[in-house]
Amino acid sequence: AAVLRAAKAGHGVGFFSLEMHGIQIGARMLTDLAYTGEHPIHYEDILKRRVDQRARQRIEAAAAQLDALPIKAEEQRGLTLAEIASRARKMANAFDKIGQRMTVLVVDHMGLVMPSGRYKGNRVQEVGEISDGLATLAKDLNVAVIALCQLNRGVEGRENKRPGLSDLRDSGSIEQDASLVIFSYRPAYYLRDRLDDHTAEAARQMALDTCKNKLELIIAKNRNGALGTVDAFVDIGANAIRNASYQR
């Protein structure tokens, strides 16, 4: 979603996907671009070729829109930070040649960046090295680097599951190096399991219906602004995020 929003706003975007294959990324982008609340297309249906003619026409229109957006992507797993930096500079040069500046670089996700070997066996130090390297890359290229990060599993075991800075996996260096830390929290995710008790199940289903399209963006660190929570609309199956005022 961040890649598309930035590109649609006219920013040149470099995108490193270290986890998903290109077809998976493309399906998610297409369903976002083709999204309508009344007739959403789910990316799983694209991947499994379960789309009718009308949906196919919308997907083709979205594909034409996607082709015109200033996005350059890499989908190779196992890249080191040095390789990412080298390829990011090539992306920036390629944008320069067409009169477009790369201003956003997305890394999905930093936990899959291969460490250099300098701190082999010390995961905290390895993550710190990667975090510092991405911050340095942002400064060197004068771009906003958006690095996705997994959370510690401890959040699953407590009653209040809204994440905080202490939940960043493996290292406090991420908090230290980042100018902005935003957590996404989707209440419906924790209401999806069925219960045996019928009364509790009815209450769960009612709560799920109320919050199924709710997404909280929790600004936990902001070096240049305020903290707080921004409510948003989400249709997770279509990879679509919109303003909270969006009506289906």
Query: Catalytic amino acids?
Result: 19
Please say whether the beta carbons of 222 and 183 come within 8 A: no
Nearest to 182 by CA among 138, 149, 142: 149
CA 2 to chain CA mean position, Å? 6
C-beta separation of 44 from 16 below 8 A: no
Distance CA 205, CA 138 (A): 44
Question: DSSP assignment of 173-222, as one string?
Answer: HHHHH-SEEEEEE-GGGGG-S--SSHHHHHHHHHHHHHHTTEEEEEEEEE
End-to-end C-alpha distance for the chain, whole angstroms: 18
128: nearest Cα among 138, 116, 139, 143 = 116
Q: Among 15, 17, 42, which residue's Cα sits nearest to residue 27?
A: 42
